[in-house]
Amino acid sequence: MRKRSGFTVMMKLIGLVKPLAGFMVLAIIMGLIGHLAASFITIFGGYAVAELIGISTPFTLTLLFVSVCVFALVRGVLRYAEQACNHFIAFKLLALIRDKVFQALRKLCPAKLEGKDKGNLISVITSDIELLEVFYAHTISPIAIAFLFSTIMCLFIGRHNVLLGTIAFVAYFTVGVIIPMLTSKFSGDDGIRFRTKSGDLSGFVLDSLRGLGETLQYGQGMKRLKEMNEQTDALSEDERRMKRTAGRNQAVTNTVILIFDLAMLFVSAMLYQSGQVEFTGVLIPTIALMSSFGPVVALANLGSTLQNTFAAGNRVLDILEEKPVVEEIKGKKDIDFDGATIKNVIFAYGKETILDNVSVAIPKSSVIGIVGRSGSGKSTLLKLLMRFWNVQKGSVKLSNVNVDEINTANLRDMESFVTQETHLFHDSIRNNLRIANLNATDEEIVAACKKASIHDFIMTLPNGYDTPVGELGDTLSGGERQRIGLARAFLHDAPFMLLDEPTSNLDSLNEAVILKSLKEERENKTVVLVSHRQSTMRIVDKVYSVEHGRMS
């Protein structure tokens, strides 16, 4: 994870507010007026006391009473309006950020997401983004409000005496700036550690749920539970430490406020004794200071909580700013499929070379077979044809055009890719099939399923094509999921089909039906078939063997 300073994270998060800048300015104005109204309720109360004891002030009692009532009403209305505006900004921005994160994940997928901790990603998308609500609803406008409010109050108190205005400035600066900075410094990396451990725990729980059957089968339940408890205890200890820091911060803040209140009272009294201010010069500045710490106290309390928020923001920014391995291609002229070639390709994952000077010719309307041992690079070849990765050397071409010169959407339209693992969404079979072609009719769906030898099975289910498949397709067998994946490929109706072990989980009867469908489709389809099964290779025109990254 990239480490950024709190200020850098804050500025980048503020930059995301740009679409809603008008609402943010409105929230700041309403908050500022609301806080001034709240403080001047107390200040005008002080003027009223002075009037009652016979000390002349610029206001009459009637005016003071009416003003206090107006201030109270304004404070209530504007407080509600400010919070409503801030939360509108916050939740609108959370939706925008989630949209940006999903767009970023789409660009990073699949190359940058292979091997990523899915639990950690889920933690970022859910809890980390949700935590940013604190920043957008309770941080940006409070900082601006505190600065503007403190400036106005310093000028108001300074009207009675410059020294008193200086004390107010030092008080606001100490509570609103120095204390949060010191708290943030003493907190160190607690927030980042907490968010990282939280993500790790989410990943561990998700992994445990997925592997629950194996855990029970091999009697590892207590071991798994112990590890989960250890991670939970470590997370709880970090949270306790952060809360202790927040508690100390609040205690220090309240103590400092009390000291400055007493200092204002003492200094103003000394000035009164020396004749430099009148009695109102003691009463009003002291009351004004005592009633005006609200905005800066909000900043003081942010010192500890922002560590957690910035840590969450840092993790979100990691995704938003990560560069994809393969950039999406747009703006080129769309092409039609007319065969493919792989020529002198060298490809490595990191330092491990997978393919070394590999060449494959794939004529239009042909069926090409690729065989080889596990890990020899067969699946990687298909991923290069899909342009999930870019080759280091050599070329991968469709219709004699390099794949990195073809619009990504055009490339996806020309290809159907069936992987070894078919992912099914927690939805009906019909909707799981329709993702391959959103405009497909029921007749087209049925035809695709018949080609994949899955239609008869679907019709035996309680609700047929409307039967839900359960999370990750757990209610279906591996062979049934695989055939649904093949049905998707047929429904997509792309001219170029890439099939990675499409019959590995099937019995000989279902395999024969699918091979027959592929053979019948060969006039309109070009197929690359990766398989360990010799029986699957019966329909191919030519077989390439991949051994140790080389083609034979």
Enter the tokens of residue 195: 């968010």
CATH number for 340-551: choose from 3.40.50.300, 3.40.50.720, 3.40.50.10190, 1.10.10.10: 3.40.50.300
Enter the tokens of residue 234: 């470590």
Runs of H (alpha helix) within 396-537: 408-414, 429-434, 442-451, 455-459, 478-492, 508-520
CATH number for 6-321: choose from 3.40.630.30, 3.40.50.1220, 1.20.1560.10, 1.10.101.10: 1.20.1560.10
Distance CA 252, CA 243 (A): 14
Distance CA 43, CA 290 (A): 10
Backbone angles phi, psi at 445, to 5 degrees: -65, -45
Non-local CB neighbours of 107 within 8 Å, separated by 6+ positions: 324, 327, 328
Between CA 454 and CA 459, with CA 457 as vertex, the angle to 5 degrees is 110
Distance CA 427, CA 473 (A): 9
Task: Say if residue 452 is exposed, middle or buried (CB neighbours under 10 Å; 0-12, 13-18, 19+).
Answer: buried
Distance CA 412, CA 405 (A): 13
Per-residue pLDDT at 119:
61
Per-residue pLDDT at 258:
94
Per-residue pLDDT at 390:
87
Q: Where in the chain is the domain with CATH 1.20.1560.10?
A: 6-321
Closest by alpha carbon to 520, among 456, 451, 454?
Answer: 451
Per-residue pLDDT at 479:
81
Per-residue pLDDT at 117:
60
Closest by alpha carbon to 403, among 347, 485, 487?
Answer: 347
Per-residue pLDDT at 243:
80
Enter the tokens of residue 360: 């494959």
Distance CA 307, CA 299 (A): 13
Between CA 349 and CA 359, with CA 355 as vertex, the angle to 5 degrees is 145
In the three-class reduction of DSSP (H, G, I as helix; E, B as strand; rest coil), residue 342 is classed as strand
List the pLDDT tens digit at each of the 552 positions of the chain.
566 666 677 777 777 777 788 888 898 999 999 999 999 999 999 899 888 888 888 888 889 899 999 999 999 999 899 888 888 888 888 888 888 888 888 877 777 666 566 666 777 777 777 777 777 777 778 888 999 999 999 999 999 999 999 999 999 999 888 888 787 676 666 666 777 777 778 778 877 877 777 787 778 888 888 888 888 888 888 888 878 877 888 888 899 999 999 999 999 999 999 989 999 989 999 999 999 998 888 777 665 566 667 777 777 888 888 888 888 888 889 999 999 999 998 888 878 888 888 889 999 988 888 888 877 788 888 888 998 888 889 999 999 999 989 998 899 899 988 887 888 888 888 999 998 888 889 999 999 998 888 898 889 888 889 988 865 556 777 788 888 888 998 899 889 989 888 877 777 777 788 888 777 777 778 888 888 777 778 888 888 888 755 655
C-alpha distances out from residue 13 to 144, 148, 298, 306, 307, Å: 15, 21, 19, 12, 14
Q: Where in the chain is the domain with CATH 3.40.50.300?
A: 340-551
User: By the 8 A CB rule, do 369 and 382 touch?
Assistant: no
User: By the 8 A CB rule, do 531 and 501 touch?
Assistant: yes
Distance CA 529, CA 535 (A): 12
Per-residue pLDDT at 255:
92
Q: What is the DSSP letter of 476?
A: S
Distance CA 279, CA 273 (A): 10
Number of CB atoms found within 10 A of residue 194's CB: 21
Residue at 240: amino acid letter: R
H helix and E strand count, the chain: 20, 10
| DSSP track, 235-296 | HHHHHHHHHHHHHHHHHHHHHHHHHHHHHHHHHHHHHHHTTSS-THHHHHHHHHHHT--HHH
Per-residue pLDDT at 168:
94
User: By the 8 A CB rule, do 127 and 209 touch?
Assistant: no
User: By the 8 A CB rule, do 259 and 171 touch?
Assistant: no
Distance CA 157, CA 161 (A): 7
Alpha-carbon Rg for the chain, nearest whole angstrom, is 34
Backbone angles phi, psi at 110, to 5 degrees: -95, -15
Which strand (E) or helix (H) includes residue 161? none
Per-residue pLDDT at 215:
81
User: By the 8 A CB rule, do 343 and 398 touch?
Assistant: no
